[in-house]
Amino acid sequence: MKLIVKVFPEITIKSRPVRMRFIRQLAKNIRTVLRDLDPAVVVNGVWDNLELETRVSEPKALKEMTERLSCMPGIAHFLQVDEYPLGDFDDIVAKCKQHFGDALAGKIFSVRCKRAGKHEFSSMDVEKYVGSQLRRQCGAAGISLKEPEIEVRIEIRDKRLFVIHSQHNSIGGYPLGALEQTLVLMSGGFDSTVAAYQIMRRGLMSHFCFFNLGGRAHELGVMEVAHFIWKKYGSSQRVLFVSVPFEEVLGEILGKVDNSHMGVVLKRMMLRAASRIADRLDIEALVTGEAISQVSSQTLPNLSVIDCVTDKLVLRPLIASHKQDIIDLANEIGTADFAKHMPEYCGVISVNPKTHAKRPRVEYEEQQFDMAVLERALENAKLVPIDRVIDELGQDLQIEEVSEALAGQIVIDIRHPDAAEDDPLGLAGIEVQTMPFYALNARFKELDPTRQYLLYCDKGVMSRLHAHHLLSEGHANVRVYRPS
């Protein structure tokens, strides 16, 4: 199979050295993301597109390849094509008839031609000749440029002809690895996940930083959604997941800081900690999911007071976004279900939070805060490569596993809905329920406590993690199903 990958249009207007650097990076990213599907995949580039050749023909692998390219920063869209040496106009007609002839009978169609290189004819010349011949030879009902039922699309590049079968859109932006790195402050909700996506889509390689305010379930949920975003949109690069234990910091704020200033002080502590971590990683910019006045700590005066604790550039890609627009985009990119089921945690609850905090007053309140608490949190921060975060979490958990489900037991398939749909788990005589891992924590309490439940996933890692958490929550009727 051959694909023509069209790069993000903004790349093509860069200077030649920058453009070539971006295209080389994109080609490298494509090879990295597809190498497990086809280690021999070939990617070659020119100034405005890349040509990809693969020997993969199995439909499931081709579908997976298409899905990965559809989520890759730097790609505007890509075309599935057949390539031929360029012949005369009659030869072009023959090639188009070969691919579209049967479909054109009785249909209204158009011919679209794009051309690059030096030729004695124009794109319009090709369209007129090929269109008239196909209409006559294939029994088409007519030609319409405005509302065709079928489009016959071809590209001519120098001495080559490409007949286009399908087009798949991607997310645009710049290739990851071509620009700088950032550290995204990740809570796992709608805002931070969409902000992470927006910044990655723009080509900025993003590490994830989570401040744990007192819940294992919350930490696990954020790890899962961070891994999902990275796997879907950023797996061409290796990045880190940083988890900072902030329970003691929160306790210090609750005990020492005036109630109305707690939210602003907490955000300042998070920026201080994130800046220190960014220094360790040689990162110059932080990313948050804040939007103007969405909550009390996000007014302009409060954001100004929060930002003054760091010399880092603080990027807020959602700063002027409406909440519903953020939710809509979360649904589009696949993070909404994670956000909806993100476990609650005990945060800072102010009775009358300040919306116009004054810097001198905030600094006075922080004088009561023991900064040694923040230092301990940073010392205990965990930095794990995002591609290993789920596996490492599940390594030391001693959970009972069974290789066979018994009558009366219920197997819960906790895989992502896409995986469960593509490869359904069928067990003769055994009840199987699908409950995605991100919904398990919230919905498990609704199940019959007198039944025995076996959690299932592909590798057994996610099932062990969630079984461990449910057991720690007092649900003794949980085990892991690992078929032999």
d(CA 359, CA 308): 9
Is 347 labeled as ligand-binding?
no
How far apart CA 455 and CA 400 sit, in angstroms, is 11
Q: 283 near 182, Cβ under 8 Å? A: yes
Q: Write the CA distances from 82 to 86, 92, 116, integer angstroms.
A: 12, 12, 17
Structure tokens at 184: 């995204």
Q: Is 298 known as a binding-site position? A: yes
Compute the distance between CA of residue 441 and CA of residue 220 in angstroms, rounded to an integer.
10
Extract the runs of DSSP E, i.e. beta strands, from 246-321: 285-287, 313-315
Nearest to 326 by CA among 315, 334, 318: 318
Amino acid at site 255: G
Alpha-carbon gap, residue 458 to 466, rounded angstroms: 14
Distance CA 288, CA 148 (A): 46
Under 8 Å between Cβ of 277 and 382? no
Q: Which residues neighbour 209 within 8 Å (Cβ) at sequence distance 6 or greater?
A: 183, 184, 185, 186, 242, 244, 274, 277
Which residues, including other chains, have CB under 8 Å from residue 314's CB and lie 6 or more apart? Answer: 271, 285, 286, 287, 288, 307
How far apart CA 303 and CA 296 sit, in angstroms, is 10
Question: What tokens does 449 get?
Answer: 């406590």
Distant-in-sequence, close-in-space partners of 465: CB < 8 Å, separation ≥ 6 = 220, 390, 393, 394, 397
Residue 187: HSE in the Cβ half-sphere, 13 Å Cα cutoff? 18
- Beta strand pairing status for 108-116 and 150-157? parallel
Catalytic residue among 71, 96, 209, 457: 457
Is 457 annotated as catalytic? yes
Contact between residue 165 and residue 261 where contact means Cβ atoms under 8 Å apart = no
The reply, when asked if residue 131 is annotated as ligand binding, is no
**Gap between the Cα atoms of 256 and 367, Å rounded:** 9
SS3 91: helix
Alpha-carbon distance of 270 to 185, in angstroms, equals: 8
**Which residue ranges are tagged as binding site?**
185-186, 267, 289, 298
Q: Give the catalytic positions in this structure.
A: 457
**Which residue ranges are tagged as binding site for ATP?**
185-186, 267, 289, 298
